[in-house]
Structure 1
Amino acid sequence: MAEMSFLPAADGPGALAARIAASLAARSGFDAAAKLRLMAGGRQVGWLPRGHAGILRGFGAVLGPEQPLADGSVGVALLPGCNGFDARSAMLRTLARQLADAGHVRGWRDELFAVTAALDAPAIAVVERAAARFLGLLTFASHMNGIVDGGSAGQPALWISRRSPAKAVDPGMWDNLVAGGMPHGSDPLATLVRECGEESGIPPELAQRAQAHGSIEVLRDLPEGVQWEQVYVYDLLLPPDFTPRNQDGEVSEHRRVEVAPLLAIMSAGAMTVDATLVTLDALRRRGWLGAGEPD
């Protein structure tokens, strides 16, 4: 992604808000009619695109027959007749590799995500992370706003990070200072603390001070499938002299930005959808959005 210069918008706050809203809307479409509710144990674990269902049926008995549900939608069972966590996980491991070999799944991560109906529900299996969006699975992530409060001496600012151009998802886009998917067996805070160290060099004793601010659900169509994600939101107040340093190669740049240029970055559509929502949430909570800015 080419380097861009973002300056405070000359437009009024209403125009800036409209551009941010338009950018989010353009990237957040979801067509439920083109999906099957992917079911396991009587509960929904994903939104499976109908076209992907046809591909899966070519790999054997992965899906059950389509069944009408009480709300008028259509469901389909995942791995019908396959019982037990280990057996289902083994079948999904084989399936994910088949999908990757056939070119349907890219960006293999060697990281396992839970197949589950909720964060606090037992996982029925695990699957390679790269296959989660193809299946439209419910996934979980932790995002953190890195905040520098200017106090009476200056303007507040946020640290943001640019995703590596080698990333399989949203390469080169701006992101929250810390953002990471939650692997099976982790939890929101543990995920955040780990990602703080890997992405920004934030030591655990500082990362543990992050304040939780609920979650945001993201449900949208993507070229590779569906992003259905529960994003757990955190804020961390950073020392004024702190400078983040990436440790794992997944971040190409960190930048400290004040609110006006940050809004301009978001209005240009240069920040990921999830990070835009998480950032706006922090700015709203802290009263740093002017009148007419996005709610």
Structure 2
Amino acid sequence: MAQTKTYLDIVKECDNFPYPTGNQAIYNSYLKNYYAFKVAGYPQVLGHVPNYIVRAFTFPDGWIVNHESQELILTPALTDLDDENTAREKRTSLMEITLKLMSQCKARPEFTSLARKWRNETFPIHATSPPAAGTQRPILLLEIERSASALFGILTTGVQLTCYTQHPAATGEIKLWIARRSRQKQTYPGMLDNAAAGGLETGMSALEGVVRETVEEASLDERVVRMGVRSTGALSYFHVKSSPLSGRGDEGEVGFLQPEVEYIFELQLGEGIRPRPGDSEVEEFYLWNVEEVKEALLRGEFKLNSAIVVIDFFIRHGVITPENEGDYTEIVCRLHRRLG
């Protein structure tokens, strides 16, 4: 097998933002490349925007850009009569106006690419209520166009499904259904992927998200999915796009941040049931044994966050063990990063 990577290489490539518990000087110097994104009245840092993006764009009224503290604060005028829904609508509206202005700006290609990538889907941005409000609880502050999530470096959530078959007890051989992404896709065209995957837009649960993606992308019957799908946990990572810390470029989005939680599901398919491309997302499906999947994985042919899902599958099914993998403990820990 022509091996160019290790499992730990893949995990580190996906989770490649410096750790504050590591070299503090490196961590602090890296943060200097970003403005902290906040919402007025809430202390939490909700994301990070690269310096070059903030300095190349004139933000409209309703934003405070503090160059000294490197903070970007969303502050639409709220009145005492505003309830949470009204406040959220105002923030969401200002964010949409801002992003559309960005998409018309010619200062950098990252701005004009927003129009090309616009999905008309939104991701939620949550925080906890201020201490003055009493018991702290999570609230939805605003929604943001999906294609701008990495530009603002917000925490996003998604789902991934691994479909597999397993021979009866005679051999117990496992085979995985692997998808080839369409070569026309805007992100990671032609790379290998899990059977189904997607981001969780505002208001969608993990289960409903994985069912929707599986029916759309893999053409599996909804009843088959709901009856057999199994939740197997969540993975988390903090990825820097197109940085010196990343082994590959990603559409020129230099330094864009992608902290993410992936809810993981698996579905064992019986004989005669097979996924088939159902939309423009997937070009083809392959049924590969473990060794074939390993070879493609270690050659770097998988989309990064799908690669770590395959590694997690291998761990749970005893393919990767403490006995055959020297970096086992570090791999397991790095698959579950605390994101704050």
Using the size of structure 1 for normalisation, the TM-score is 0.84
Residues 64-79 of structure 1 mapped to structure 2, 5 A cutoff = 64-65=65-66, 76-79=71-74
Question: Offset at 1:177?
Answer: 0.7
Name the structure 2 match of 1:108.
Answer: 118
Which of 186, 191, 194 aligns to 2:204? It is 186
Task: Describe the superposition over 1:270-289 as per-residue Cα deviations: whole angstroms up to 9, x where unpaired.
Answer: 10111111111111011122
**Shift in CA distance, 156/36, structure 1 to aligned 2, threshold 3 Å:** same
Name the structure 2 match of 1:19.
Answer: 6
Q: CA RMSD in A?
A: 2.4
Corresponding residue SS for 1:151? coil
**Shift in CA distance, 82/262, structure 1 to aligned 2, threshold 3 Å:** farther
Task: Describe the superposition over 1:129-179 as per-residue Cα deviations: whole angstroms up to 9, x where unpaired.
Answer: 111111111111001111211233452011111111222221111111110
Task: Give runs of ≥4 in structure 1 deviating > 6 Å.
Answer: none
Deviates more, 1:233-242 or 1:144-153: 144-153
How far apart in 2 are the matches of 1:168 and 1:293?
36
Asked whether 1:90 is paired with 2:90, we answer no
How far apart in 1 are the matches of 2:64 and 2:156?
20
The one-letter code sitting in structure 1 at the alignment partner of 2:16 is G
Q: Is the contact between residue 20 and residue 268 of structure 1 (CA under 8 Å) also seen in structure 2?
A: no
Name the structure 2 match of 1:257.
Answer: 288
Task: Describe the superposition over 1:241-273 as per-residue Cα deviations: whole angstroms up to 9, x where unpaired.
Answer: 212112221111111111111111111111011
Name the structure 2 match of 1:292.
Answer: 325
Identity of aligned residues (%): 22
Asked whether 1:237 is paired with 2:237, we answer no
**Shift in CA distance, 281/179, structure 1 to aligned 2, threshold 3 Å:** same
Corresponding residue SS for 1:86? helix
Deviates more, 1:194-203 or 1:146-155: 146-155
Name the structure 2 match of 1:278.
Answer: 309
Question: Offset at 1:19?
Answer: 2.9
How far apart in 2 are the matches of 1:63 and 1:153?
66
Task: Describe the superposition over 1:30-68 as per-residue Cα deviations: whole angstroms up to 9, x where unpaired.
Answer: 244423332232223212222222234445543442686
Q: Is the contact between residue 38 and residue 74 of structure 2 (CA under 8 Å) also seen in structure 1?
A: no
The one-letter code sitting in structure 2 at the alignment partner of 1:137 is I
Residues 6-155 of structure 1 mapped to structure 2, 5 A cutoff = 9=1, 18-26=5-13, 28-30=15-17, 31-40=30-39, 41-65=42-66, 76-83=71-78, 84-102=87-105, 103=109, 104=111, 105=114, 106-117=116-127, 121-154=138-171, 155=173
Deviates more, 1:46-55 or 1:170-179: 46-55
**Shift in CA distance, 37/217, structure 1 to aligned 2, threshold 3 Å:** farther
Q: Is the contact between residue 142 and residue 181 of structure 1 (CA under 8 Å) also seen in structure 2?
A: yes
Give aligned pairs, total: 275
Using the size of structure 2 for normalisation, the TM-score is 0.74
Name the structure 2 match of 1:213.
Answer: 232
The one-letter code sitting in structure 1 at the alignment partner of 2:238 is L
Corresponding residue SS for 1:269? coil
The one-letter code sitting in structure 2 at the alignment partner of 1:93 is E
How far apart in 2 are the matches of 1:10 and 1:64?
50
Name the structure 2 match of 1:71.
Answer: none
**Shift in CA distance, 78/251, structure 1 to aligned 2, threshold 3 Å:** farther
Q: Is the contact between residue 44 and residue 117 of structure 1 (CA under 8 Å) also seen in structure 2?
A: no
Q: Is the contact between residue 64 and residue 80 of structure 1 (CA under 8 Å) also seen in structure 2?
A: no
Q: Which has the larger radius of gyration?
A: 2
Corresponding residue SS for 1:162? strand
Corresponding residue SS for 2:120? coil
**Shift in CA distance, 241/294, structure 1 to aligned 2, threshold 3 Å:** farther
Corresponding residue SS for 1:44? coil
Question: Offset at 1:219?
Answer: 1.0
Q: Is the contact between residue 216 and residue 230 of structure 1 (CA under 8 Å) also seen in structure 2?
A: yes
- Segments of 5+ residues of structure 1 without an aligned counterpart are 1-8, 69-73
Question: Offset at 1:239?
Answer: 1.3
**Shift in CA distance, 214/57, structure 1 to aligned 2, threshold 3 Å:** farther
**Shift in CA distance, 193/36, structure 1 to aligned 2, threshold 3 Å:** same
The one-letter code sitting in structure 1 at the alignment partner of 2:117 is G
Corresponding residue SS for 2:74? coil
How far apart in 1 are the matches of 2:99 and 2:267?
36
- Segments of 5+ residues of structure 2 without an aligned counterpart are 18-29, 79-86, 129-136, 242-251, 329-340
**Shift in CA distance, 240/101, structure 1 to aligned 2, threshold 3 Å:** farther
